[in-house]
Structure 1
Amino acid sequence: MFSIHMKKQLAHFPLEISFEADREIVVLFGPSGSGKTTVLNCIAGLSHPDAGSITLNGVCFFDGKSRPVAPRRRNIGYLFQDYALFPHMTVEKNIRYGMKGGSSAHVDQLVEVLGIGHLLGKYPQQISGGEKQRVALARALATEPQMLLLDEPLSALDRKTRLQCQEELLRLHRDWNIPYVIVTHDLEEAKKLGDAIYFIERGQIVDTFIKRPVSANI
Structure 2
Amino acid sequence: MRLVIADDSVLLREGLIRLLEEEGHTVSAAVGDAEALLAEVAVHRPDAVVVDVRMPPSHTDEGLRAALRIRAEHPGTAVLVLSQYVEQRYAVELLTGAPAGVGYLLKDRVAQVGEFLDSLERVARGGAAFDPEVVRRLLARTTRTDPLSTLTPRERDVLENMAQGASNPAIAERLFVSVSAVEKHVNAIFDKLGLVHTPEYSRRVLAVLRFLGS
* TM-score of the superposed pair, with normalisation by structure 1: 0.34
Between Structure 1 and Structure 2, the one with more helix by share is: 2
Between Structure 1 and Structure 2, the one with more strand by share is: 1
* TM-score of the superposed pair, with normalisation by structure 2: 0.34
